[in-house]
Structure formats: C-alpha cells, structure tokens
Amino acid sequence: MKAAALSKRGIGFALVIVLVAINLRAFLTASSPLLGEIRGDTGLGFQAAALLTVLPMFAMGPMSLAGVGLGRRIGERAAMVLGLGAIALACASRWVTASTAGLLASAALAGFGAGLVQALMPTIIKRAYPVGMGAAMGLYSAALMGGGGLGAMGSPWIARWAADWHAGLAFWALPALVAIVAWALVGRAAPAPVQQASAPADRGWLKCFANRRAWLLAIYFGLLNGGYTSLVAWLPPSFAQQGWTPQAAGALLALMTAAQMVGALALPVLARGRRELRPWLVAMLVVQLAGFAGLMLQVSPAPVVVALLGFGLGGGFSLAMVLALDHLPDPAQAGTLAAFMQCFGFMISALAPFATGWVRATSGGFGGAWAWLGAVVLLLIVMTWRFDPRRHARATCGLFGTAPATGSDASGYIGMRPG
C-alpha cells in the first residue's frame, strides 16, 4: 500500500479491520472441539451437531445480499455495528442456553451477523485501498481465519478453566464487543461511498441472477469453502475417534487456521501485480489435494498434513475474493458481485458437512470423506481455467450498466496491479 494511504487511514483502520474480522469465524469453530461435552449435556445428535456449522454458513448466504441494501439504507457504519452486535448477542446467549433449539438459534443469529459484516467489508476494503486492495484483502482474510483458530484453540481451554462448556462458547461475545467499540470510534476513517444518481439501478444485485459469470463465481466459491466447513465440522471428531483429547483435536484445528492465515496473507502479496491469478489458484488447490490425500492415507505427522491443508485453503480463499473484486473497477459494483458470490457460495459450502458426513457414514470411515473432498478439489482445478482475465470485462458486460470491452485488452480490472 502506498505510504500516503497508510499515513491517512492505513495502520489504524487496518487494525480495526482485523478486530472485526476475528469475530467472523470464532463462534463457528468454538463448538467443534467441545462437541463431546455439548452432546453429553444436551443429547445433541451428530446430524444436529453438524447444524452448528451448517446453520451459520447458510445464514451468511442471504445476508451477504441483504447486507448490501441494508448498508445503503442505514449506512455502512451502523450496519457493521448491527452485524457485530448480533454476533455478540448470539455468543452471550450461549452462557445460559442448555437446549438444542437454543444452541441452533444462537448459531443462526451469529451467522446472520457475520453475513452482514462480510457483505460490507469487500466494498469498504476496495474503496479504502484502491492500490493495495490485494494486500488489504489478504490481511482481512487472514484475520478472519485467525479468529477461527482462536475459537478452536481457546474454547476448550476456557471451558476447562471454567469447568463449563458454556463458558467456552459464550466467551466470544467479548471480542465482538471490543470490535463494536473500535468500529464506532475509528470506522469514520472509512472513505464514504461516492454518490451517483444511477447507483441504485446500476448496482442492483438482481442482475447477477441472469449473469453466467456471477453464478460461476458463486459455485466456485461455494465448493472452495466446502473443504473448510467440512474440516471445521469433522476434523476434530475424526481425530477424537483416534484417541486424541478435545484440547489436542482443537489445537489441530487451530493449527489449520493458523496455516490458513499464512496462506491468506502470503498469496495476495506474492501474486500482487499479476494479471493472471489462475496459476496461483491452481497451486493452492494442488496443495489442498495433497493435504486431503494425507488425511485419507493417515500420513504422519498429522500436524504437517493439517498445516498443508490450511495453507491451501487460506490462499485459495483470499485469491477467490480478489478474483471477484477484480472483475469490475467500481468498488460498489465489485462489492455487489462479491456479495452475490458469497450469498450462494456460503449456502453451497453450508451443505458440504452434510455431504461429507453422508460419505463418511456410507463408506464406514473418514477416509472416504477425505477422498470425496479431494475429488471436489479436482473439479475446482478444471473450473479455475474458466477465469481468463482477458474475458472479465466481457463476462460482466451489461451487469451493472458496464460497456462492452474494446480493443485487445479486455482483461477486466486487476485490483492488485501496482499503481
């Protein structure tokens, strides 16, 4: 990022982005390492336990679209506070919730809050950092995944210290409250949207329904994140089945998310200035394929295999977000396309733990589930080559009133290109 951008809003505003992003996954990963205790007290079945991961991801979907309009109506700053407040309320309610219905309701509420924040953040980042958008998106993605690591590692230790699994889940209301205060104080540093008379009509997300590229991005993003949601749901139970303690299994999931952070930060920086993102995406998918093969074959040491998976998942996620934003130059239009991608992408990824669980049940072990996820990665490698940057402009032509590309360079709008 340019020094001027850093001096004006860079460091302070970037720290607020980190504080906000940490809260978008911690509540999701907190329950998986504590699943044994939760099931013992509530009688939660395995299918209902999967809903603790599925419901938030599914709720994130529609809010990724509704959040764009809500942010326009009440203002981005107020909408961000509303989303973080929903996460804080959902987590705090888990201190007193002892029923399956209460746990599932809190999961859905937290998902709605996270979806609202995620709908607004890509637009805010692209507008705040037009030159260093790739690096800023990498920082946001890394913090988001780091929050997942904190939830996976911290929750079992907090529950053990308090002798109550409720404490391990409810604790994550505190960082959400901290993020609310930080955003209320520093969020005004975010650059305001540019007002245009034609904005509501030109940026309407309904137009995405008739655009093949928007659907391709959504399916791609959903399948890409399906590996993450499946691992959040089933990685700790799979190692608990092998005799690992909840703390050790949670630490393994935390290691995966730590590796995700590294991948999410490193890949946008390494690919910065590149017009062609496909080789980088394919490289991350190959790393994922190696990781799933390692799980299937029970390669030792397990932490190395899990770290490999995390790196591939993190790098793939951040590059996929940049890929969507690179299709259009206008921050609001690019943010709307990214919101559409996230909406249906998150709903697709929400179904992944069910599919993975079904494969595990029918195959008799987790080896079949990891093989299934490896097959999905092979499909993603094939899909990746559809995203030719020279065709971005043509693929989004007319989506938000954009003119058709002319000349030999119809490459779209690469936000990671140095200014």
The residue among 216, 236, 171, 207 whose CA lies nearest residue 345 is 216
Residues with Cβ within 8 Å of residue 345, at least 6 apart in sequence: 61, 217, 218, 219, 220, 221, 222, 224, 225
- How many domains, in total, are found in the chain? 1
AA identity, residue 130? P
Average pLDDT, the chain: 82
Residue 244 lies in a domain: yes
CATH code, domain carrying 77: 1.20.1250.20
Residue 409 lies in a domain: no
User: What's this model's pTM, rounded to 2 decimal places?
Assistant: 0.76
Q: Write down the pLDDT at residue 415.
A: 43
Rounded to whole angstroms, the Cα distance separating 237 from 257 reads 16
Is residue 50 scored above 80 in pLDDT?
A: no
Residue 335 lies in a domain: yes
Q: Write down the pLDDT at residue 144.
A: 86
Q: Is the peptide bond before 301 cis (omega within 30 degrees of 0)?
A: yes
pLDDT mean over 55-74: 82
Residue 66 lies in a domain: yes
Residue 31 lies in a domain: yes
Q: Write down the pLDDT at residue 3.
A: 39
Q: Which domain holds residue 21?
A: 11-188+203-395
More confident residue, 333 or 199: 333
Angle CA 32–81–22, to nearest 5: 35
DSSP-assigned letters across all residues of 247-290: HHHHHHHHHHHHHHHHHHHHHHHHTTT-S--HHHHHHHHHHHHH
Is residue 382 scored above 80 in pLDDT?
A: yes
